[in-house]
A = this chain, B = another copy of it.
Amino acid sequence: MTIPAALDALETFLGQRLSRSKSDLALHARSETHFPEMPPDAVAYPESTEEVSRIMKLCAEHGCPVIAWGVGTSLEGHTAAVEGGICLDMSRMNRVLEIQAADMDVRVQPGVTREALNEELRATGLFFPIDPGANATLGGMAATRASGTTAVRYGTMRDNILGLEVVLADGRVIRTGTRARKSSAGYDLTALFIGSEGTLGIITEITLRLHGQPEAISAGVCAFESFQGAVEAVIETIQMGLPMARIEFLDEASAIAVNDYAGMVFPEKPHLLFELHGSPESVAEDAARFGEIVTDHGGSGFEWSDRAEDRKALWAMRHNAFYAIKALRPGALTLVTDICVPISRLAQAVEETREDILASGLPGPILGHVGDGNFHAALLIDPANPSEMETAKALSHRMVERSLALGGTATGEHGVGLGKRAYMASEHGDGWEVMGQLKNALDPAGILNPGKLVP
């Protein structure tokens, strides 16, 4: 019952596809998190569900922790090997298995990235909308219940997964869901595994809902005199039911960052970035209504574009905002935190967070998927100054407390991992104990991503 014995058995089974090389361990210790690196003892590269099942059985036999791995874009320390064990790198399970265009669904392996999938779908007239910014794997996105810029229109991973294949802690393989659009056939196991962060099973296949590529897309940007104006424009837009496909907030610090990094020429003001999908008529109609709301709230420099290259540049800039913000303070560590509140509380949540960050003296741009009530602060920390990390953690802590007090959640889309585990008891009360009971029922030995999410 030791990790070394498990590694020997795994090596016999996988040969060179069990790696203990220092560079591999270091690579799989890294992600986008601010937590210290905690490397696994080995990295396994399975190529099939059967292999994952066999690996789980061997690890169960020897009590060896197993941590699933996509491409390492996690922000909350989900992949840290806090008790050692193996990292299960799913990158070789990266095939798009079956596109069913008529039913608008697709079956993929977990190592497929969202961009690779959309590349493959291009000729079908369909697309997969969920877009967390990073080119994450679909397995990772499922495991963290990812969302991002388009959730305001298309929902999160929860809303776009029809079914899963999962390898359980004991090596059993189950399939959840069907290809039917809805079902009332028992417990929603699909939803249970989505967002379970590798603590209940290893996702080895995903059936995703697809959407028709919109006939017309129009994207735009505008600046506001005050962040309150921008946030209030968002609230009114959502309350009026305008079907925005994206509606993103950048504060002035974020605008400065992307100007420097991506050669944009935004005024140094808060901005909204937005996109509409639909028929040419509906997009034009919605754009006109949105324009009125923006003007009412002091928005200016309102610009729309129907050209694909303009849109591409706009969203590439948004997706690189994280790196642009990092570049504001070269060499800095970044603590990116994420809360989500009811839309009516968004202005208050942003305002209080902003004042708190300003008072701290740390650079900390705010940006986010405000159509969902979701926003991030990216706090830039001098690694040589431990007090800055303490300040950043205290700011993040107060953000979460603020969110919970306003009826929101400790994490809108980044997940729990190590970073938000301390808040699970206050967010869920006895519900967190229930999560522990479920975990214990499916993984009594606690070998699946130990130290994360559950009590």
Contacts and interface: CB of A to CB of B under 8 A. Distances in A.
B239 A430 contact: no
Counting chain A residues whose Cβ lies within 8 A of the other chain, the interface size class is 35 or more
A429 interface: yes
Given A188-B195, A241-B212, A182 B343 contact: no
A212 B183 CA distance: 26
A344 B105 CA distance: 11
Interface in A81-115: 100, 102-105
A252 interface: no
Contact of A102 (B239, B279, B453): B239
Contact of A437 (B341, B416, B442): B442
A175 interface: yes
A412 B195 contact: no
A403 to B, nearest CB: 8
A160 to B, nearest CB: 11
A411 interface: yes
A90 to B, nearest CB: 19
B178 A431 contact: no
Interface string A439-455: 01110000000000110
Contacts of A411: 183-185
Interface stretch (A25-33, A143-151, A218-226, A263-271): A143-151
A29 to B, nearest CB: 23
Given A178-B408, A192-B191, A285-B282, A185 B424 contact: yes
A299 B188 CA distance: 38
A164 B159 CA distance: 18
Nearest to A152: B181
B181 A340 contact: yes
Nearest to A415: B184
Contacts of A374: 180-182
A77 B53 CA distance: 38
A194 to B, nearest CB: 7
B437 A441 contact: yes
A179 B408 contact: yes
Contacts of A412: 180, 182-184
A420 B185 CA distance: 8
Nearest to A344: B102
A103 B344 contact: yes
B172 A430 contact: yes
B196 A187 contact: yes
A341 B180 contact: yes
A140 to B, nearest CB: 12
Contacts of A434: 168, 174, 189, 442
A203 to B, nearest CB: 14
A429 B175 CA distance: 8
A372 interface: yes
Of the listed residues A168, A186, A191, the one surrounded by the most CB atoms of chain B closer than 10 A to its CB is A186
Contacts of A343: 102-103, 181
Interface of A: 100, 102-105, 144-147, 151, 155-156, 158-159, 168, 172-176, 178-189, 191-192, 194-196, 200, 211-212, 235, 239-241, 279, 281-282, 285, 340-344, 372-374, 403-404, 407-416, 420, 423-424, 427-435, 437-438, 440-442, 453-454
Given A156-B184, A174-B430, A189-B428, 17 more contacts: A102-B235, A103-B342, A179-B407, A180-B341, A180-B403, A180-B408, A182-B340, A182-B409, A182-B413, A183-B411, A184-B195, A185-B415, A186-B195, A187-B195, A188-B188, A188-B192, A281-B282
